[in-house]
Structure 1
Amino acid sequence: MFGLHFLLAVGLSLSSLTLGAPTDANCTRESLEAAVADLLTAQTTGSSAAIKALSPSVTYTQNDKAGTISAGILASPLKIDHNRSEYDTTACATYSELIVADKAKPYVIGTQMRFTGDQITKVQTLVTTTGDWLFNVTGTLYWSSKENWDPIPAAQQDTRAVIQAAADAYLDIFNNKKVVVPWGSPCARLEGGSYTGKGLPTDSCNVGIPSGEDLTNRRYVIDETVGAVDVFLNFGGATGLPDSHQFRIESGKIRYVHTLTVMTASK
């Protein structure tokens, strides 16, 4: 991870989480899309009240710290310059990447929302900004907006198991170099604002990966329609840095990787 391992201590190993809960009758792609639309409205207006499906007893964390959603990043009205979301109708969950290119207050935000029934009962947010790992919002906006995350034709979509297995292989190689990763060719990684892709068929994500780092406490949002999986985790063991790794999987191979890593735990 471009040398991040030098800053971290290796933590205790935790097992990965399972694929998610059975499909809920109230969980449809349309309902998840509506919740994300409300999330975007909430962020642009600075009011979490815009999220209509929010449970009164919702649990909220920001950068792995428990808090109150009305006092978190959603309390700050922000202009969103680019966003991308995925919708998991099996686990009843969403993931959204929000890019705010304001020079005074730049952010790249990753948010997972989880439903119980027809209410959002858990919201977990990672907020990265100046000082976080390789943060460069200009680069993030430029490269993210150029990528193709369009829906994959139904006959060509990978299963949830294949999508998660590809992501897990990538995450496991940080601590076990014997793991076989299904690298795509090309493959491009957006890490902070740093990009490994050059628009060439030979672009590779298999560069700068450290060893001896445990990526634990994995929480998945999987969207077969776009071949995407986002994984919230702790980088460097059980008490490691708050981190998000998002993947686009095509025909079982890793095509894109986006990472967010929070360096300042007090934020």
Structure 2
Amino acid sequence: MQGLLVSIATLAVSLFSATGAAQCDRETLVAATDSLIAAQTAGKLDSLGALDGVGYLEQFKTADITKGILATPLKLDFNRSLHDTVQCATYTEMVAATGSHPYVIGTQMHLTPDGKITNLSSLVTDTGDWLFNATGTLYWASRENWDVIPEDQRDSRDVIQAAADAYADIFDDKSVTVPWGSPCARLEGGAYTGNGSPSDRCDVGIPNGVKLVNRRYVIDETIGAVDVFIDFATVPDSHEFRVEKGKIRFVHTITVMG
């Protein structure tokens, strides 16, 4: 079942990307992510609408949405969403750092043009996951600038995705040229490769011989961003990128270890 749901989502991505035209209104997608945040805050699914037949994955495994993280009320200290009008898809990063149980969550949703959720997939990280530190995540994420980019300065979807793919490819092929920005900072769990200075770099601590496969993208040209759900070797992972003028400016990672 898990493989079937992922295959359907991947097929939908391919079909929508081939047209290059908007399939959903941005307002519809913004309403959907607002509803997701409301549901997570309250620990109630009501705001998400009818969920019959909705495919739900948690940690890339089929799960019961009524018993998943959305059924747990959380005090969210930070959230940011990507809205992909071409694929009718969204990505939302949520940080709960000051509650009784800290979490950092990344959620991709796919919807019909009229706003009905067709599938929802969440990566939920807490203590024990890769470099987990919700306080650190909140500190650095809230200081970065992911503002809307003026329309005449935006990169195309292809450029944004290509930057993410180059980053993912270099983990297994060091000959790949990655469009590193300067400065560039990577937020990995709660650890940060920079300190907010002009000399911050992302091209540090990259392992060798690791395949990042089965990539599922959500792209938002208005903020130059793409989130990619990835099988990081054998573990579930999200890499989110901010791209400015074709160069990677910020990277956020969420990696589930167990």
Structure with the larger RCO, 1 or 2 (CA within 8 Å, 6+ apart): 1
Residue 249 (structure 1) aligned to one of 221, 231, 243: 243
So what's the TM-score if we normalise by structure 1? 0.88
Match of 2:130 in 1: 133
**Which structure shows the bigger proportion of residues in helix conformation?**
2
1:262 equivalent to 2:253? Answer: no
Please state how far the C-alpha of 1:25 moved relative to its aligned partner: 7.1
Map 1:209-228; keep pairs closer than 5 Å: 209-228=206-225
Please state how far the C-alpha of 1:102 moved relative to its aligned partner: 3.2
Match of 1:100 in 2: 96
Map 1:1-267; keep pairs closer than 5 Å: 21=16, 22=19, 27-52=24-49, 54-102=50-98, 104-118=100-114, 119-236=116-233, 240-264=234-258
1:195/1:58 CA distance change after superposition, 3 Å = same
RMSD between aligned residues: 1.6
Please state how far the C-alpha of 1:196 moved relative to its aligned partner: 0.7
Runs of 4+ in 1 over 6 A off after TM superposition: 23-26
Q: For residues 232 and 161 of structure 2, what CA distance do their matches in structure 1 show?
A: 18
Unaligned runs of 5+ in 2: 1-9
1:117/1:55 CA distance change after superposition, 3 Å = farther
1:44/1:182 CA distance change after superposition, 3 Å = same
Unaligned runs of 5+ in 1: 1-15
Please state how far the C-alpha of 1:104 moved relative to its aligned partner: 2.8
Q: For residues 101 and 58 of structure 1, what CA distance do their matches in structure 2 show?
A: 29
Contact 1:20 1:90 in 2 (8 A): no
Contact 2:23 2:85 in 1 (8 A): no
| Percentage of pairs with the same residue | 60
